[in-house]
Chains A and B, each alone.
Chain A
Amino acid sequence: MALTQPKLDATEARLAGLTLPESRALASNRAEALTRLRAMGLPGRRDEYWKYTRPDTLVAPEAAPAAVFDTYETPVFGEVDRVKIVFVDGVYDAEASDNLDLAGVSIERLADAEGHDIHWSKDLYGVLEARGQDPVDRPLAALNTAFATDGVLIHVTGKAAKPVSLIYLHADANSDAILHHVVRLDAGADLTLLENGPAAARFNKVLEVDVADGAAFHHVRAQGRDHERRAATHIFARLGAESVFKSFTLTANGVLTRNECVLELTGDNAVAHVAGACVGDGDFHHDDTVFITHDALNCESRQVFKKVLRNGATGVFQGKILVKAGAQKTDGYQISQSLLLDGDSQFLAKPELEIYADDVVCSHGSTSGAIDEEGLFYLRSRGIEEGPATDLLTLAFLAEAIEEIEDETLAAEILARLEAWLARRRAG
């Protein structure tokens, strides 16, 4: 179908400011992505998939500036022994990064890999993204594949000795960053990937993960600080038999964040969990869009999303479970809940199930509620002041999502961030 003129104009206006990076190994991957993008056009307000989130600022030729805040926060994951890879406004910073040698893992910078004639990433870069374009267009991800200027390619052959940690620093108020990472886990391999930081004034990031049979991928991400920042992120993952994929995202602050997660369970007995906790205040807009496709026997998927909203903040959840014909014994679960701390905030949810197999268990639920007055009085009657009592109940509300993080140290890190965020809000 031909694009409408406004969509065509908007797409070409954005493309005018971009140049395809030099590439040898991945030149065709990038070119094909550009063709995909031109065919679908960038998202507009009238697109059903963008009904609750205005894409204007994400597709505009220029990024709106975002002030860089002084970092009064203790950096997250500070207590975790990890390999740190630092990007400043979307540019790899070799000096700030650790040595990338890690047993069981090979890590390369995207630009270095592209300099070769042949590279393993050719089979994955933009390939999982392209698979994720069906049945719903994700044009910002295609744009990313075509124009990403940096990123890392991680090949995991065994059990990684420690987590790989991607740190996104934001220094320039006008930065507009496009990063693309690919993670390939061989059969039986195991990696924990951490991500944190505000990244840029505008951030477009794609993470493609290929989880081979029996491999395990754990992902914990903390998006925070720099209130005016905007981000559109995509995760595309393909899961082999007996594999495990678990991803958790904490989002605090950010005037606009859209996190899409597109998972495809292609091997029997695979397990996929996606969870998120977000805390929003004021003109915060946060969108979790998840699409999980079951295309194998006896797989399990869980989506657990919790949002705490106040002072006019908006939370969005679009979550879908698609069970293909033949994906029998699927166990799918989806819950999205919001805690609205005042009458100004809103939560918009669109849970979807589409099932073509007849022997499956799928459940979903979505709720919006205020703080439990009975519980609040009970805590206060024991001497806990209203502010801390509200925080306790808020953390209790978020607990189900945080419990999705398997590693206790990482869960504690996330909890500490939330506690600090709540305490700061209370301090005013």
Chain B
Amino acid sequence: MLEIKNLHVKLEEEDKRILKGVDLSIEPGSVHAIMGPNGSGKSTLSYVLSGRDGYEVTEGAATLDGHDLLELEPEERAALGLFLAFQYPVEIPGVGNMTFLRTAVNSQRKARGEEELSAADFLKLIRAKAKALKIDADMLKRPVNVGFSGGEKKRNEILQMAMLEPKMCVLDETDSGLDVDAMKLVAEGVNALRSQGRSFLVITHYQRLLDHIKPDVVHIMADGRIVKSGGPELALEVEHNGYADILAEAV
């Protein structure tokens, strides 16, 4: 599904290297987690994969089902099935959540040569998915993320994911700013989407999210590299001993 090979990335504006040779291979249907201390490059990885400006890839490759992601515009990556759940979902005053989602769904369908959803079909679909995430009609009508609580914003991210049905979902610190109940709700939303053909890359600081979204593989990232990979037990090790031991061991 997602193949990242020796990915080196620096900031476009300054001579600062952030990713220094990331290798990662995610097979269909699996859930990988990336953990790591602040500043290790986790969020940069998610931004580079989704095509945000401001980064320069100096070496390496990233492909989704064989398509070179780094050559594509953000919207083309999305149409291929890549989805980034933002750590800080953006507020867009004046654009209704419904209009936004319908435009997004239909843009992707159009890009893939599929027929656009009618207003009625779209409404039916979004109502069902919103209900499962406890998102009420009012939230759907309001401008995108404007005045949403932290939990509402993250649930709105998961709703978008559910509507767009991507193949490869990258969750960037989706647990940040959430209380336990909100985190459970979000995790349930994600778990409901787990399937044979869909993979997840869950980026997080803390192990607690991984109690709810059980990963197949856990990677530890530090200083722009993946320094250790293992099973779910690796996350528990971090939880108990912190990163210091693992990092010392890796060096």
Contacts and interface: CB of A to CB of B under 8 A. Distances in A.
Interface of A: 372-375, 377-386, 388-389, 392-393, 395-400
Interface string B89-110: 1111111000110011101100
Given A373-B53, A374-B90, A375-B90, A381 B95 contact: no
A399 B93 CA distance: 9
Interface stretch (B10-18, B70-78, B183-191, B203-211): B70-78
A383 B111 contact: yes
A381 B94 contact: no
Given A382-B100, A383-B164, A397 B78 contact: no
Interface centre among A372, A377, A388, A397 (most CB of B within 10 A): A377
Contacts of B93: 396, 399
B84 interface: yes
Given A379-B100, A384-B107, A393 B95 contact: yes
Given A382-B78, A382-B164, A384-B107, A396 B94 contact: yes
Contacts of B51: 380-381
Contacts, number: 82
B57 to A, nearest CB: 17
A384 B95 contact: no
A382 B91 CA distance: 14
Nearest to B93: A396
Nearest to B86: A378
A378 B89 contact: yes
B94 A397 contact: yes
Interface in B154-198: 160, 164
A392 B95 contact: yes
B79 interface: yes
11 contacts: A372-B92, A375-B90, A380-B74, A380-B78, A382-B100, A382-B104, A383-B164, A386-B73, A389-B75, A393-B92, A396-B143
Contacts of B95: 392-393, 395-396
A312 to B, nearest CB: 25
A383 B107 contact: yes
Contacts of A396: 92-95, 143
A94 B212 CA distance: 74
Contacts of B143: 396
A33 to B, nearest CB: 43
Contacts of A393: 92, 94-95
A237 B51 CA distance: 53
Interface centre among B89, B94, B107 (most CB of A within 10 A): B94
B101 to A, nearest CB: 8
A395 B94 contact: yes
Contacts of B108: 382-383
Interface string B127-151: 0000000000000000110000000
A381 B50 contact: yes
B92 A385 contact: no
B103 A388 contact: yes
A375 B51 CA distance: 14
B52 interface: yes
Nearest to A384: B107
Given A377-B53, A379-B100, A392-B100, A386 B92 contact: no
Contacts of A397: 94
A377 B78 CA distance: 12
Given A373-B53, A377-B53, A392-B100, A384 B75 contact: yes
B128 to A, nearest CB: 20
A398 B94 CA distance: 8
A24 B83 CA distance: 74
Contacts of A381: 50-52, 74-75, 77-78, 83-84, 86
A375 B145 CA distance: 11
Contact of A378 (B73, B90, B105): B90
A380 to B, nearest CB: 4
Given A380-B75, A383-B164, A395-B95, 6 more contacts: A382-B108, A384-B103, A384-B104, A392-B99, A393-B95, A396-B95
Contact of A379 (B50, B52, B73, B92): B92
A377 B108 CA distance: 15
Given A382-B104, A382-B164, A375 B74 contact: no
Contacts of B94: 393, 395-400
A155 to B, nearest CB: 39
Contacts of A398: 94
What are the 6 tightest A-B residue pairs by CB atom distance, in nearest-first order? A396-B94, A383-B78, A383-B108, A382-B104, A380-B74, A378-B90
Given A396-B92, A396-B95, A386 B53 contact: no
A203 B186 CA distance: 59
A389 B78 CA distance: 14
A18 B86 CA distance: 65
B52 A385 contact: no
Contacts of A399: 93-94
B90 A385 contact: no
Nearest to B90: A378
A377 B52 contact: yes
A383 B73 CA distance: 9
Contacts of B90: 374-375, 377-378
Contacts of B103: 384, 388, 392
A372 B84 CA distance: 19
A390 to B, nearest CB: 12
Nearest to A402: B94
A396 B146 CA distance: 12
Contact of B92 (A373, A375, A388): A375
